[in-house]
Structure 1
Amino acid sequence: MHELGIIVHVIRTVEEVGEENHLTEVRSVTCEIGEVSGVVPEYLTDCWQYARRKSELLKDSELKIEILPGVTVCEDCGKTYSTVKYAKQCPYCESYATHLVQGNGFSIKEIEGA
């Protein structure tokens, strides 16, 4: 389960940002997760519930998750389409000359603190 490692990294990053900005508490952390990133949101939430309690700054915080859709572009026809629905083959021209342009990343989007 790599989600625990991700959460440990997120918490360390948020604590550093909190220290730099003199925060006394973090109310929420919003993360963007790509639809095809391999990160399981439910596992991430479970790990957050465990790990946040070990941080004074984050102990009462909420993890918010936004899913970014997987989008693939076809190099032959130039159209984009849903990666999850159609995978590697373009639904417009049936080409396999495609590549993922969005949806495999992970980032901290927002930290709400006081």
Structure 2
Amino acid sequence: MHELGVVFHIIDDLKVVADENNIEKIEKVTVELGEVSTVIPHFLTDCWKWASEKQEFINGTELLIETIPAITECQDCGKQYGTIAHGRICPFCGSEKTYLVQGNEFLIKEIEISE
């Protein structure tokens, strides 16, 4: 389960932001998670609950996850399609010359603090 490592990375990034901005407590964190990012949302949430309890500045902080759909584009016909539904092979022309346009991201989108 690499989600715990991902959570530790998020916490490290949040700590830098908190220190640079004199933030004592973060109330909510929103992350964007691609459908094919290899991070499993419910594992991430479970790891977050465990790890955030050990850091005062994020103890009780809500973690929100927004899913970024996986989209693939075909190099032969130029059309885009849902990666999860069709995989690597273009459903329009049958080409295997495709590439992922979006859907493997993992980003901290928003941090909310109390005033």
TM-score range, shorter chain: over 0.9
The CA deviation at 1:105 is 1.6
Identical amino acids, percent of aligned pairs: 49
The residue correspondences of 1:8-87 to structure 2 (distance < 5 A) are 8-87=8-87
Structure 1 residue 28: Cα displacement = 0.6
Size of the aligned set, in residue pairs, is 114
TM-score by length of 1: 0.97
- CA offsets, 1:31-82, max 9 Å, x none? 1111001100000000000000111100020000001000000001100000
Task: Name the TM-score, length of structure 2 as normaliser.
Answer: 0.97
Q: C-alpha separation between the residues in 2 aligned to 1:24 and 1:88?
A: 46
Deviations 1:5-49 (A, max 9, x none): 000110111011011111121001111111001100000000000
Structure 1 moving runs of 4+ over 6 Å: none
Q: Hey, what's the Cα distance between the residues in 1 that align with 2:113 and 2:24?
A: 8
Q: Does 1:98 align with 2:86?
A: no
Gaps of 5+ in 1: none
